[in-house]
Amino acid sequence: MKKSVIDDSYKYGFSKPEKYFYKSEKGLSEQVIRTISGYKGEPQWMLDFRLKSYLGYLKKTLPSWGADLSGIDFRDIFYYIKPTSGKVSSWADLPAEIKDTYDKIGIPEAEKKFLAGVSAQYESEVVYKSVNEMLKKKGVVFLDMDSGLREYPELVRQYFGTVVPPLDNMFASLNSAVWSGGSFVYVPKGVHVELPLQAYFRINAANMGQFERTLIIADEGSSVHYVEGCTAPIYSSDSLHSAVVEIVVKNGARVRYTTIQNWSKNVYNLVTKRTVVDEEGVMEWVDGNLGSKVTMKYPSIYLKGRKARGEVLSIAYAGSGQHQDAGGKVIHLASETTSQIISKSISKGGGRTSYRGLVEVAKGAKNVKSKVVCDALLLDEDSRSDTYPDMRIHEKDVSIEHEATVSKIGDEQMFYLESRGLTKEQAQSMIVNGFIEPIVKELPLEYAVEMNRLISLQMEGSVG
């Protein structure tokens, strides 16, 4: 595989097997898309969807706002790679630095190997199978997107591309044209899924796709918590990751979607995530961005039905060379809808975080309540944080709150903790962990623990 300009995977000495069952040409063309779709044996409508998206993509340009994306070379990307079934790289081949990080975070051996992409994933497969048996009994569908399309074509066709239209933005168009992998989840009426559905239990040969496509449908009165990613660093040799996540929350249903993104620092992570929420439904995005070179991601919620509620909790950490442009959007289309966006960002070592958010209240949506809190913490003089809150309020009878703070760690706070026997690094990581605590406490326990450890590692400067 040829190294692209922004691909610094070689730094980690990461070896990938050269044996591919099928590998598309570099760059994108109609022929590449036809080949992808043909290879997957997709129905005609999906091929048409892809081609239409591709034509739309060709007319799109990079956004004029947000992070600097000029480093992406779209011609130097393999848009589809189908790996062989057996991975040949081994745990022993992994660089000490990565193994060390995994050890410090304290993840179990089996999981480590899986994360490093060197495991045959037998352990997870066993877990997945037993979880899936349980889900099946309740009528819950939890598959990778390609299998979902094969097994539930009508359901997929009904919703696919309805929440995020293929021509929504350049990266949504690109994803719609070349998507592969991702999850398909359907929760039937009134069914409550007790255990969080974790994406890494869902077995998929191409485990971490570049252009993942996820569709979650929570039918009336149901509830589900979906967890994507993990706190451990994911080393990817692909420089562009552009996922689309669509979620449909029906009347009275409740969905929480938790993401912990920790891609390696060569990755451009440009993701479109959106939900449509019906009457009295609840959508919660818990979105943590720690890794990547550039992330642009603003989980969005369209509150379409009366009394629907939406919440976005966002944490961003930007270290040296990183730009996290994150936030959230809520569009109130109906009366008595409520929303909250809480964003916490940390910048260190010249890193840059931006909060970009939108609260919109459509004409006719009465008694709407919304609250936005964005707090930024700067750890040194070289780091940067910006806030771009957008409010479009077209109705009078609303209650909108907005609070924003930018703080630095004060000398007196540091002195206080040092006077309790903590070193400067320990004190700093304690303050930072305290700062993000309101969001971390919403994470599943093991993720919360790993998150705290990871922040501590960042403070030591031994990672990143």
Which of 10, 22, 91, 416 lies at the binding interface for other proteins (CB under 8 A)?
Answer: 416
Please state, in angstroms and as integers, the Cα–Cα distance from residue 15 to each residue in 83, 291, 370, following that order: 14, 20, 48
Q: Minimum distance from CB of 423 to other proteins (Å)?
A: 5
Asked whether 186 and 145 are in contact (CB, 8 A), the reply is no
Q: Minimum distance from CB of 460 to other proteins (Å)?
A: 13
| Block residue for tokens 């957008």 | 390
- In the bound state with other proteins, the residue whose beta carbon lies nearer, of 180 and 343, is 343
Burial tier of 21 (Cβ tally within 10 Å: 0-12, 13-18, 19+) = exposed
Phi-psi region of 307 (alpha: psi -120 to 50; beta: other; left: phi over 0): left
- In the bound state with other proteins, the residue whose beta carbon lies nearer, of 109 and 397, is 109
Q: What angle do helix axes 44-59 and 30-40 make, rounded to 10 degrees?
A: 150
Asked whether 302 and 274 are in contact (CB, 8 A), the reply is yes
Q: Minimum distance from CB of 131 to other proteins (Å)?
A: 20
Backbone angles phi, psi at 81, to 5 degrees: -135, 125
Which residues have CB under 8 Å from 58's CB, separation 6+?
none
Q: Minimum distance from CB of 101 to other proteins (Å)?
A: 12
Which of 45, 415, 461, 462 lies at the binding interface for other proteins (CB under 8 A)?
Answer: 415
Phi-psi region of 88 (alpha: psi -120 to 50; beta: other; left: phi over 0): alpha
C-beta neighbour count of 453 within 10 angstroms: 18
- In the bound state with other proteins, the residue whose beta carbon lies nearer, of 133 and 412, is 412
Q: Minimum distance from CB of 435 to other proteins (Å)?
A: 6
Task: Please report whether residue 1 would count as binding other proteins according to CB under 8 A.
Answer: no
Kindly state the number of chain residues that form the binding site for other proteins, as judged by CB under 8 A: 34
C-beta neighbour count of 133 within 10 angstroms: 9
313 closest CA partner among 357, 263, 254: 357
Within 93-122, the residues that bind other proteins by CB under 8 A are 103-108
Q: Minimum distance from CB of 5 to other proteins (Å)?
A: 36
Q: Minimum distance from CB of 431 to other proteins (Å)?
A: 6
Which of 84, 162, 423, 462 lies at the binding interface for other proteins (CB under 8 A)?
Answer: 423
361 beta partners: 332, 393
Task: Please report whether residue 450 would count as binding other proteins according to CB under 8 A.
Answer: yes
Task: Please report whether residue 421 would count as binding other proteins according to CB under 8 A.
Answer: yes
Handedness of CA 114, 236, 259, 303 (dihedral sign): negative
- In the bound state with other proteins, the residue whose beta carbon lies nearer, of 21 and 91, is 91
- In the bound state with other proteins, the residue whose beta carbon lies nearer, of 96 and 445, is 445
Q: What angle do helix axes 170-178 and 30-40 make, rounded to 10 degrees?
A: 50
Read off the amino acid at residue 3. K
| Segment interacting with other proteins, rule: CB under 8 A, options 56-64, 114-122, 151-159, 409-417 | 409-417
Asked whether 290 and 265 are in contact (CB, 8 A), the reply is no
- In the bound state with other proteins, the residue whose beta carbon lies nearer, of 272 and 345, is 345
Task: Please report whether residue 449 would count as binding other proteins according to CB under 8 A.
Answer: yes
| Segment interacting with other proteins, rule: CB under 8 A, options 145-153, 268-276, 357-365, 449-457 | 449-457
Q: Minimum distance from CB of 463 to other proteins (Å)?
A: 14
| Segment interacting with other proteins, rule: CB under 8 A, options 88-96, 170-178, 294-302, 428-436 | 428-436
- In the bound state with other proteins, the residue whose beta carbon lies nearer, of 241 and 344, is 344
Task: Please report whether residue 430 would count as binding other proteins according to CB under 8 A.
Answer: yes
Give the footprint of other proteins on this chain (CB under 8 A): 103-108, 410-413, 415-423, 426, 430-431, 433-438, 445-446, 449-450, 452-453
